[in-house]
Amino acid sequence: MDSRQRFMYTMNYGPKDRVPWGEMGFWPETLDVWRKQGMPRDVHLNTYFGFDRLRDQVNVSFGLLPDFESAVLEETETYRIVRRNTGVVAKEFKGEHSFRMPQWLSFPLKTRDDWENEFKPRLNPESPARYPEYWDEQVRIYAQRDYPLTLRAGSVFGWIRNWMGLEGICQALYDDPAWVQEMMNAVVDFCIATARRVLEDVELDYILLWEDMAYKAGPLISPAMFRRFMLEPYKRLTGFIREHGVDLIFVDSDGNADPLIPLWLEGGVNGFYPIERAAGMDAVELRRRYGQELRLMGGIDKRAMIAGPEAIDAELAHVAPLCAEGGYLPWCDHHVPPDVPLKHYQYYVARMKEMSLDPQGFRPRS
């Protein structure tokens, strides 16, 4: 069974030899730490950990084109203030504090004039730089693959939040809701137009959408506002995707996004990740509540990976029934952070593989 078959059978509850082996990702700082702890510098991570090929993405740009000019505006020994290519100005920490979240200082989208003059021109789906230069050759390569292939096909709330800042979009939802709705509709129009050629030329296996619209205590906007502003754009985007033959549509949101999951399901999404445990999310509970319609990826507590073998075994035993059932991939509940020791992660990988081969027989060692 090749990687593509294994992924598709797993996600559609078919017979499989095991769940696919892989990871959502690793922070760059994690790899720096692990190299100091003995991981070779000249290895490919999938090969080093013995993972399957799962995360290949079609290289089509859904970003702002052209992007904003990036620049370092101020720099000291402990921080730098930069304008990123998204137009956001941020204070980034250096040295031992480099892994901290930056401090967001200003956002480029503040007014309707900004939207009309700075953003809409950068959301031109016909920009020649959106697709690889030798696209037809890439299509021929994709047609011969034996691994699953995805496309990051957009956002409804998350991009605008990034451009405006959380405070900016929340104020706009009350002060000028028609403008926010206009932007959400325009973003979905852009995503559909940009994705059309991919979906017509390539047989994709799943789609990834991105929102990051929750924090530890709950969603950044209420379910009522999601229904009012986002539900119809979601239906339009997911309907377009399914019309082009792709049924698996995942949304990525950190935090406790549980109150929004029924709305995503209603809007045509049928997959969710990364299932952040520190925010109270639980893959087993999500399956109990939403059934097999909701496919899941993630949900292995990074804090267990930090703690060590006993906690890791407990996490794997918790999700073993999902691995047996299908529709689930065991990944860390976000990118693996640098406070996970390499030896703990290696233990996790070995035990995850053991569990995947015999989920019903898996037991903690202690």
Question: Residue 252: enclosing H or E segment and its boundaries?
Answer: strand 248-252
Q: Do strands 79-83 and 71-75 pair parallel, antiparallel, or not at all (unpaired)? A: antiparallel
What's the pLDDT tens digit per position in 139-175? Answer: 999 999 999 999 999 999 999 999 999 999 999 999 9
Note the pLDDT of residue 269: 98
Q: How confident is the model at residue 264 (pLDDT cuts 50, 70, 90)?
A: very high
What's the pLDDT tens digit per position in 270-299? Answer: 999 999 999 999 999 999 999 999 999 999
Q: How confident is the model at residue 97 (pLDDT cuts 50, 70, 90)?
A: low
3.40.50.1820, 3.20.20.210, 3.40.50.150, 3.40.470.10: CATH of 3-64+110-361: 3.20.20.210
Query: How far apart, in Å, are the Cα atoms of 223 and each of 79, 175, 228, 254?
Result: 38, 19, 9, 16
Q: Would you call the peptide bond into 274 cis, given omega within 30 degrees of 0 as the criterion?
A: yes
